[in-house]
Amino acid sequence: MIGAWPRWTASLLALLYLPLDDRPPSWAPCDWGLVLCPPREAYRGPEGADLSRLRAWLLSNPGEGLVAALDALAYGGLLQSRHLSLPPEDALARLGPLLSWRVRYGGRLYLFGVVPRWDTTQRERNLRVLKALSPWSGFPEVYVEAVWDDALRGSPAPQEAASLPYPSRPGADEAGQVLLLRALRPGLRVAVVYETPSLAGRVTPYEGLPLGETAARLLWSAAARPAALEEGPDLVLYAYAGEDPRQAALDLLRLMARHRVALADLSRVNRGDPRLMAYLQGLGLYARLAAYAAWGTPANNLGSALAQGGLFLGNGEGRLLRLAEAYFQYWWGEVGRPYLRARYPEPLPPGAQGVAALWAYAALEGRRLDLVSLRFPWGRAFEAEPRLGFAPADRGPSLVQ
């Protein structure tokens, strides 16, 4: 990653963050300098987290608040939550340190649990655990929500989430980022603008809800307040569905003349629209965005764009660093991932890192963005973790921070 801010010491830190796992969407906030995270070694890719290390870290670090993924502590991560054979009583016992931390340090808890996707073998157990936590939501200093994962057509997840006594919405991988916004910047005034008015009523892939309902629930998760454009919102969240990239670019030009705009590209799952990106780069709009996301499902992208746009309002350098990371994720979906999947089996061999040679020129505010190296934390092509660097556009080697 580039430009990671110095890690704060526990004595100075206001907020702790316990990610769902160490995939880039979950782990990325640990490199933003806003939160204190567990040691990276406590997460072991697809093997799942070392739960004893997570508990030890948690109980030894005070803070004013804690954003935590329930599935990380109960099962070791999202992947393990789907198939790990574990009685619900044992899973609940593993969550006890969260209340111990609350009693010991007095900080607020911001917690999210995942309602399983369609192929989960342990869905009944996971739902029993989530329902058993209902007394927690009665504490004034504890916020609990349920997010559902990849709801294909006919998935029971939306109905199961509705049976829980918590706020719920689609999207899991970005949930930690959204709760960080709730913890660090509650009350953000956000106007949601759709590429076309009909988009708000469209049921988007993997969500099981009309997009307008997804956006409304997302704002609730973030403790953001809906606002109209004429009210001068703090942030505009623009949802693009791939219908007319030229018109969308004109919309963004108009909106960015008066507002800070975070762009969620919902045109394709796990990939952005190269036609829109061409307009953004050609018109110099990309570097002016408050945030950009195209790496996941519609809910993933809406949540990431909102969270990063809100967290880095007023922080010019932090905003550019997040845009650099988001551009890499766009490039990975468009170039890197398809290239590797066509050529290498998984787990990926060392030679797969050679895909970095395909990186094309990209610039942000007059600085060249370079891809210095890559690693594959889960040994697969779906996600990659880059080391990026900035250099003056007319000079040679990158100035990696």
Mean pLDDT to the nearest integer, 347-369 = 95
pLDDT (0 to 100) of residue 379: 96
Q: Two tokens at 324?
A: 């650099």
Tell me if the pTM is above 0.85.
yes
On whether the CB atoms of residues 303 and 178 are closer than 8 A, the answer is yes
Domain made up of 187-311: CATH architecture: 3-Layer(aba) Sandwich (3.40)
Cα distances from 134 to residues 22, 145, 171, 285, 316, in angstroms, run 27, 10, 21, 45, 40
Q: In the predicted model, what is the mean pLDDT of the chain? A: 94
Closest CA to 21 of 230, 174, 240, 243: 174
Residue found under tokens 């100035």: 399
pLDDT (0 to 100) of residue 2: 53
Distance from the Cα of residue 308 to its chain's centroid = 9
Confidence of residue 400 (pLDDT cuts 50, 70, 90): very low
Domain parsing of the chain, residue ranges: 1-184, 187-311, 328-392
pLDDT (0 to 100) of residue 395: 64
Per-position DSSP letters for 13-54, written without gaps between them: --EEEE-S-SSHHHHGGGGTTSSB---GGG--GGG---HHHH
- Cα separation, 65 vs 72, whole angstroms: 17
Q: Two tokens at 125?
A: 């157990």
- Cα separation, 219 vs 190, whole angstroms: 8
Question: Helix 175-184 vs helix 211-221: angle between axes, to the nearest 10 degrees?
Answer: 50
Q: What is the pLDDT of residues 163-216, one digit of tens each?
A: 999 999 999 999 999 999 999 999 999 999 999 999 999 999 999 999 999 999
Phi/psi of residue 386, nearest 5 degrees: -95, 160
Percent of the chain with pLDDT over 90: 92
CATH for 1-184, options being 3.30.70, 3.40.50, 1.10.101, 3.30.2450: 3.40.50
- Fold match flag (1-184 vs 187-311): yes
Mean pLDDT to the nearest integer, 135-152 = 94
Q: What is the pLDDT of residues 297-355, one digit of tens each?
A: 999 999 999 999 999 999 999 999 999 999 999 999 999 999 999 999 999 999 999 99
**Residue with the larger pLDDT of the pair 249 and 6:** 249
Q: What is the pLDDT of residues 26-72, one digit of tens each?
A: 999 999 999 999 999 999 999 999 999 999 999 999 999 999 999 99
Statement: residue 96 has pLDDT above 60: yes
Q: Which parts of 270-380 fold into alpha helices (H)?
A: 274-282, 298-311, 316-331, 337-343
**Other residues' Cβ atoms within 10 Å of the Cβ of residue 23:** 22
Residue found under tokens 């606002």: 227
On whether the CB atoms of residues 55 and 61 are closer than 8 A, the answer is no
